[in-house]
Amino acid sequence: MSILAYGLNYRTASLDLRERIAFPEEKLAQALKSLTNDISGVSEVAIISTCNRTEFYLSLIHI
């Protein structure tokens, strides 16, 4: 198993981009489900989304 981490914050991305990547609470469950189901080899996903940053953590299955 491998872990992939990817994130954007106020130092690395513009406000416009951070707004497009942000996940409001009501859309978070669907985003987690989509990432897990739609990306081959992903077994688990965690998303941290605040006004200043968004981070994705994915657990990858070695195929």
Domain boundaries defined on the chain: 2-60
pLDDT digits (tens, 9 = 90+) for 53-62: 899 999 998 7
pTM of the model: 0.78
Hey, what are 11's tokens?
A: 């130092």
Q: Are 45 and 57 in contact (CB under 8 A)?
A: yes
Class level of CATH domain 2-60: alpha beta
What residues are annotated to the active site?
51
Say what the pLDDT of residue 63 is: 61
Hey, what are 39's tokens?
A: 């990306």
pLDDT digits (tens, 9 = 90+) for 5-53: 999 999 999 999 988 888 888 988 999 999 899 988 999 999 998 888 8
